[in-house]
Amino acid sequence: MPDDRVRVRYAPSPTGDPHVGNIRTALFAWLFARHTGGDFIVRIEDTDTARTQEGSLEAILESLRWLGLEWDEGPEVGGPHSPYVQSQRRELYQNAARSLVEAGHAYYCHCTPERLHEMRKEQQRLKQPTGYDRLCREAGRGPDGDPSPVVRFKMPLEGETTFNDLIRGEVTFANATVDDFVMLKSDGYPTYHLASTVDDHLMDISHVLRAEEWLPSTPRHVHLYDALGYDMPLVAHLPIILGPDKSKLSKRHGDVALLQYREMGYLPEAMINFLALLGWSLDNHTELLSRDDLVNNFSIERIVRSAAVFNLEKLTWMNGVYIRNLGEEELAERIAGILDESLSQEVARPVSRDYVRSITPLVRERIRTMTDIPELTDFFFLRDLDYPPADLVQRGLEPADTANALDSTVERLAGVGEWTAEALEGELRPLAEELNVKTGQLFGAIRVAVTGRKAAPPLFETMAVLGRDLCLERLRKAVASVSTVD
RNA sequence: GCCCUCAUCGUCUAGCCUGGCCUAGGACGCCACCCUUUCAAGGUGGAGAUCAGGGGUUCGAAUCCCCUUGAGGGCACCA
């Protein structure tokens, strides 16, 4: 394998349903891999047994699948560096830790959680920087028969560490501000620092793209790589995604799990486009980019440095654009699928595809998210409409006028030859004039009578689709119910 | 408290590296008008950023330098 091959990984912890910020990181890594013709690897970092959640792995993989971020190596597909689950690679980390201790780069620590807690409290009280005080490093003890010591890495006591971040440039930390972190926990599992360093090396990762919150621990990794004798991959810390309150997006912000957006009727194509533009841009005007456009144009250089607020309104707008851009057949099929799932039981399944095809052009530019569909179309399917009779009465008309207008409509329409939108319009426009009401008033009353709604798709097309019998029946019912309005 | 990062319309961003084309461009949202039987979609126009603030450098700074401020992130036997 050539040395310069790009290999990036997405390394989530299975501690819950991945949220949009997390997946945005995966997307950038995937885009970078695909743009460069490199490899995209998924590695599961389940080294915290207490936080690992049942079902989370499936949610992670399903999130990637939904967006079409296929992976070259990882769970389910395997690969030359299997397994891709850290809990199954414990020996690797334990060996690395042991050799680090032997080489004098790390040491056993016997401090109890209680002592560490007290130490931290004291440091805070004295307003000193918090961090491990290196008691066990100075004592220079071995395992000492302690059944569960931790292993800490020896950070340099002085000097500074500088590394180059692909997005931020040179970043420097004083080594004195970085403490001796735990690499191997008392339960024998590694911490992130050790596990990811060992795996990134073993898996030949060339670039680490991760969220900005990792920036402060990068000096640790610099020294870990060095002590292990590994070359360090290039690093790029992606800007964080914020909630409306401008703090890091998290569960308390509500709808953050990526898969929730699928439930809410968002299209994966729109989601990808939107997420890609959260922290990256092509130029000063391009908003709509397909997955291929993104792959072709993605570059780390054009990732912004500052954090971005997740703007749901823009996502929703973009989703509408993608829905409108869907082919008629494609949209109809998706609409039918949704209706089959969501319509009331009284409607026979599967819903007629031809019927749905005739409805689709009437609603396509009114759909913002796919979950709008039942609300937008149910009157096409339901037998009985449920609406307040008062809605029939238009501004400037009395109930009696309305009853009369609707009654005349029934009469006029009963004799119409061809039940088409053009024919209907040809009958009803003159009727308004004859009745001496505004077209808006007549059509408004008919709209409510026929759809049960004040806002609906274009009236004549809608009536044409509904058919003569249903329209006349609904109009007659309306005439009867409007008499109950005082 | 300590460390790091960031800072252009309400929001996402272009411009910053390679000062002048920026009296700062686009998009979402908002407002108005047009289209129109309603709601959308579409079209046109508008409000909205003294480029966080202050100092420099320069003939000239959103762009370079310094300081300040603000915001975010990190400071676990979590990732």
Nearest nucleotide (CA of A324 to C1'): B41
DSSP H helices in A312-370: 312-325, 328-342, 353-363
Give SS3 for A64. helix
Measured from Cα to the C1' atom, the residue closest to B7 is A306
The first and second tokens of residue A129, run together, are: 């920087």
Measured from Cα to the C1' atom, the residue closest to B37 is A440
A284 CB closer than 7 A to any strand B atom = yes
Nearest nucleotide (CA of A112 to C1'): B77
How far, in Å, are A17, A48, A183, A236 from residue A98 at the CA level? 34, 20, 11, 30
Averaged over A105-109, what is the pLDDT? 96
How far, in Å, are A88, A106, A144, A272, A382 from residue A140 at the CA level? 31, 10, 11, 52, 79
Indicate whether A236 pLDDT > 70. Answer: yes
What is the spatial distance, in angstroms and rounded to an integer, between the CA atom of A305 and the C1' atom of B15? 15
> Structure pTM?
0.94
More confident position, A39 or A138: A39
pLDDT tens figures, A398-415: 999 999 999 999 999 998
Judged by average pLDDT, the poorest of A194-203, A247-256, A336-345, A391-400 is: A247-256
Nearest nucleotide (CA of A442 to C1'): B37
Scan residues 156-215 of chain A and list those with Cβ within 7 Å of strand B.
168-169, 171-174, 177, 179, 182, 185-187, 189-192, 212-215
pLDDT of amino acid A295: 98
Indicate whether A250 pLDDT > 60. Answer: yes
Nearest nucleotide (CA of A129 to C1'): B2
Averaged over A445-472, what is the pLDDT? 97
Is A477 assigned a catalytic role?
A: no
Q: Which candidate in A121, A127, A154, A251 is catalytic?
A: A251
Question: How many CB atoms neighbour CB A291 within 10 A?
Answer: 19
List all nucleotides in chain B with at least one atom under 7 A from a protein Cβ.
Answer: 1-8, 10-15, 25-29, 37-42, 71-79
The answer to whether A373 and A411 are in contact (CB under 8 A) is no
How far, in Å, are A45, A286, A362, A377, A451 from residue A373 at the CA level? 39, 29, 12, 6, 15
Find all residues with CB under 8 Å of A68, minimum gap 6, and list them.
A268, A272, A291
When the pLDDT of each residue in chain A is averaged and rounded to a whole number, the result is 95
Tokens 């841009």: give the residue: A281
What is the spatial distance, in angstroms and rounded to an integer, between the CA atom of A330 and the C1' atom of B32? 37
Measured from Cα to the C1' atom, the residue closest to B27 is A287
Averaged over A164-190, what is the pLDDT? 95
- Cα(A303)–Cα(A238) distance, rounded to whole angstroms? 8
Amino acid at A9: R
